[in-house]
Structure 1
Amino acid sequence: MINVNGALLPETDVTLAIENRGYKYGDALFETLKVVNGKIFFWEDHYFRLMASMRIMRMDIPMSFTMEFLEAEILKTLDANDLLKSSARVRLNVDRGVGGKYLPSADAEVQFNIVVEPHDNPFYTIAEEQDYVVDLYKDYYMAPGLLSGLKSNNKALQVMGSIYAEENDLANCLVLNTNKSVIEALNGNLFLVKGDRIKTPPLEDGCLKGVMRKQILEVLSKDVNLYVEEASISPFELQKADELFITNVIKGIVPITKYRKKDYGNAFAKKVLMKLNTQLRLT
């Protein structure tokens, strides 16, 4: 069952208007959520990121779009799919409805839909002895700016990068901005570990304002023995690192095992993940 503006419908009954602005122009935003036994991980962060993104996109936020309302709609959808007492992946999609060309018509109204699916792991784990080889994706570059940090439906770069990764037997690719700095992976934020120094690209470089990125930075900030900075990462730094890892809400932390001729460990990533899981159990 899919939730369309609060109505639960079988997938076969769900239709998308050909004039839908999310379909025609990418005039839409989304949040990917992990839910375990009815608990939405980091829901407050997801909600406020969505609201901030809608304001940046100049969408008229409906008065009904409170944190409590959207949470209830998510849980209702999970319940309708018998996933309320298990682990699930949820996509909450918001678009500007129908009407207008590039300029939305005055009667275009914001709408939402929620799609859910089962997910295997209730907590975050790191797969042992799993190769995760990456390389740079250099066919297209991300232009830093206010729009580059949004989780919008305009993901052409990620789509093309994913095709490139598959064609070259890579698990993922690292994305560059127009200044040739490494900003993120195709599906998550990037962290670099060198001794007691941890780096992640700043939002100003064009990376996604990731929810898991925020959680990891908060976990790291509690360790007085670490020096954590948000600073630009050049491609030359990658091969000098002790560890590289990718973060997103669904996977948690994914260690990179190889970039070009350099192999990496995952001891630090495991420690951070353990702290993250402990924090989740306590909340």
Structure 2
Amino acid sequence: MDTKKYVNLNGVLFPKNSAVFGAENRAFRYGDSLFETIHSNGTEIQFFDQHLDRLIKGMKTIGMIIPERFRNKLKVNITYLINKNKAFAGTRIRLSVFRNDGGLYTPSDNNISYLIETSGLENDRYVLNKKGLKIDIYPECKKSSGIISQFKTGNSLLFIMAGNYKNKRLLDDCLILNERGNPIESISSNLFIVKNGVLMTPSIASGAVSGIMREQIIETALNLNLTVYDDCIITANDLLEADEIFLSNTINGIRWVVAYKERRYFNTTAKLLLEELNQSTFKF
């Protein structure tokens, strides 16, 4: 029985620990790459079209050439890799695209390569964290809003620095500020707050990533007849006045926050939304 794990580079399988890149790889040299982190349950890939829409929009924005039949090729290759790696429970898929070798800062080739990786998850659907997260603001470096801030790029130093800050202070996560000092997201998640029954999230224009789960939560909340504002400019004071804070991404669904500084929070809305997301997302 084949127990090896594999990655898929441009439709070709390689053992997981293979050296598949050279030293001139532009993702390594310049962070010239985009990525999507995708959840699957068996071979059911959650929100595949939404992920590909965002990826292709990002590729067009930074001048990458979209290969022919790109969407179909990726779906076939992701499904094949899930089967090859026997990833039949909850699975994290990382899909990376990067410009081909050549050039210095200025590329000599705008064609792309792609890499697909899989790793197992503890759960095959979304499970709300039993213990609420303790968070704070990461103050040392800010994220600039602009035409690429809504995408997931290979330039992740800001989030790495925030991760180290979090660990040194024994926190569960940190909130990232934009250039105007407004909290816009966490290290790997979109930010939501609930105040007086109203669900609010920072606008994409403020610099927040255009999260796939963010879109699903907004849609789910509207279906539950909740009032939603998805174009907010949130302040640190809004965090202190909120009844709930939660974070969202496509791997965890929703994680609720119990503490920001000395403030403590509930998780009623987070529970309600996660139950609805599980019912609408997964086949039981």
Q: TM-score range by the shorter chain?
A: over 0.9
Instruction: Identify the match of residue 81 of structure 1 among 85, 88, 95.
Output: 85
| Aligned residues between the structures | 279
How far did 1:13 drift? Answer: 2.8
Distance 1:34 1:214 in 2: 15
1:105 paired to 2:99: no
How far did 1:68 drift? Answer: 2.0
The residue that corresponds to 1:211 in the other structure is 212
1:2 paired to 2:3: no
Return closer, same or farther for 1:224/1:79 CA change in 2, 3 Å cut-off: closer
RMSD: 1.4
Return closer, same or farther for 1:26/1:225 CA change in 2, 3 Å cut-off: closer
Identity rate, percent: 32
Return closer, same or farther for 1:5/1:227 CA change in 2, 3 Å cut-off: closer
Query: What is the TM-score of this pair, normalised by structure 2?
Result: 0.95
The residue that corresponds to 1:272 in the other structure is 273
Instruction: Identify the match of residue 95 of structure 2 among 68, 80, 92.
Output: 92
Q: Check the 8 A contact 1:219/1:272 in 2, yes or no.
A: yes
Amino acid at match of 2:241: K
Moved over 2 A (4+): 11-15, 223-230
Distance 1:149 1:27 in 2: 16
1:195-253 CA deviation, whole Å, 9 max, x = no partner?
22111000000000000000001111123353434211001110110000000000000
The residue that corresponds to 1:140 in the other structure is 141
Q: Check the 8 A contact 2:199/2:229 in 1, yes or no.
A: yes
How far did 1:21 drift? Answer: 0.7
Taking the TM superposition and a 5 Å limit, the aligned residue runs for 1:109-120 are 109-120=111-122
Distance 1:251 1:227 in 2: 21
Q: Check the 8 A contact 1:98/1:109 in 2, yes or no.
A: no
1:49 paired to 2:54: yes
The residue that corresponds to 1:256 in the other structure is 257
Amino acid at match of 1:78: I
Extract unaligned runs of 5+ from structure 1.
Answer: none
Distance 2:8 2:212 in 1: 24
Return closer, same or farther for 1:152/1:281 CA change in 2, 3 Å cut-off: same
- Give the 3-state SS of the residue equivalent to 1:89 in structure 2: strand
Q: Check the 8 A contact 1:143/1:178 in 2, yes or no.
A: yes
Amino acid at match of 2:233: S
Q: Check the 8 A contact 1:221/1:228 in 2, yes or no.
A: no
Q: Which moved more, 1:4-13 or 1:164-173?
A: 4-13
How far did 1:282 drift? Answer: 6.2
Distance 1:51 1:216 in 2: 22
How far did 1:11 drift? Answer: 2.3
How far did 1:148 drift? Answer: 1.1
Q: Check the 8 A contact 1:78/1:116 in 2, yes or no.
A: yes
Distance 2:159 2:213 in 1: 18
